[in-house]
Amino acid sequence: MDACGAHQEEHSMIPGRSGPELAAMLMQMENFINVHPELGQSYAQPRNIKFKPDPAVISAEEHPELQPYKNLCVDRLKLVGEGKWKMSDFLSGPLWLPFQEPRFLLHGEDVDFAAGPCFKQESRDENLKLAKLWDTKGLLELAASPFQTGMFSRVFNAHKSAMHDRQIGDRRLPNMMERAIDGPSKYLPPGFLLTNLSVARGSQQIFSSVTDRRDFYHQTAVTYERACSNMLPFKFSEEELAGLQAMQKHKEREETGRKKKKDRALQGDGFGLFSDVTTPSAGDGLHPCFASLFKVIIWALSLLYRVMRIFCSGMGF
């Protein structure tokens, strides 16, 4: 299988979601150089010319896949799954505890917020629409504050079809605030290593098998604590969240917490500094939290849950 290279034949598989965008930008660069022949003069120092893409070369309106990632637009999102698959029943060893209670991963050290997403241009109204969409699927939880200051995620769209987009969660800030897990995924090869495999013609073969569930991320059930690590940066009032099933669950959780006597031997000490992270303050509003797994593009978290086996005869694999 060829993903790219010097071969002239057509490929049935485009190399990645950003492949069309990459090809289009290469066409733009080629066109830019053609209309500025002075850039090709070997012995003259060409003047600085600012690159500007030509909309006439290829239209993003006719080919929306050329813009694979877009700002949050809830009307285009298609979510499959209702967070009812108890994946925790199939986890063991070092993976189970962080999946149930991610707060123990927090290292409390300073992080570089400049390396995370910027929320200044995010739409509060779209994030409220997103929370209501999550609620229709049973994928919404509410909390008063993050585990640590600034521990928020950004949600945006990834192109799926002419009518729909996928939901992508940018968890760079929560990931930077958590320690890494030493689990079995460290034995799986990164994707770029797979492109380095080669075989001798006629005597060797490579077989691969990938198993996946349709949008299994959003079918995964998580604990309330795990959902709180997928928190949006905006707070909404009780009036804005009125009528949501997540709001009802939140009130029931509050009522149960007031009635239940806290026995330290049974309840623990709440992880010290992080003991009151989900205790609401009157009138302050609540943050929406995604009660499943974000599909991500920054880190291949799916390697923790996706099974990949590579059988290569004659190569020692």
- Does residue 129 have a pLDDT over 90? yes
Do 90 and 145 fall into the same domain?
yes
* Same domain (yes/no): 62, 160: no
**Token pair 């694979």: residue:** 68
Pair 50, 175 in one domain: no
Residue 304 sits in the same domain as residue 267? yes
Based on the fold, state whether residues 199 and 278 are members of the same structural domain. yes
197 falls within a domain: yes
> Could you say which of 28, 47, 67 is where a domain stops?
67
Where is the domain boundary, 42, 67, 92? Answer: 67
Task: Identify the domain boundary among 8, 32, 67.
Answer: 67
Does this model's pTM top 0.75? My answer is no
pLDDT in tens, 148-179: 999 999 999 998 888 999 999 999 999 999 99
Looking at residue 111, its pLDDT comes to 93
Pair 249, 104 in one domain: yes
Contacts of 154 by beta carbon, 8 Å cutoff, 6+ apart: 117, 119, 122, 169, 170, 233
Q: Are residues 96 and 36 in the same domain?
A: no
Tell me: the pLDDT tens digits for 103-123?
989 999 999 999 999 999 999
Q: What is the pLDDT of residue 267?
A: 63
What average pLDDT score do residues 243-265 get? Answer: 82
Residue 234 has pLDDT above 60, yes or no: yes
Query: Is the pLDDT confidence value at 275 over 70?
Result: no
Residues 29 and 134 in one domain: no
57 shares a domain with 131: no
Average pLDDT, the chain: 80
Q: Is residue 5 part of a domain?
A: no
* CA gap 139, 105 in Å, rounded: 23
User: Is the CA virtual torsion 27, 28, 31, 33 positive or negative?
Assistant: negative
Per-residue pLDDT, 130: 98
Q: Residue 199 falls within a domain, yes or no?
A: yes
Instruction: Summarize pLDDT for 18-55 with one digit per residue, the tens.
Output: 667 777 788 888 888 888 877 777 666 667 788 888 87
Range of the domain at 30: 18-67
Same domain? For 39 and 135 the reply is: no
- The verdict on 40 and 113 lying in the same domain is no
- Contact call for residues 167 and 295 (beta carbons, < 8 A): yes
Q: 242 and 143, same structural domain?
A: yes
Q: Which of 78-92, 234-248, 255-269 has maximum average pLDDT?
A: 234-248
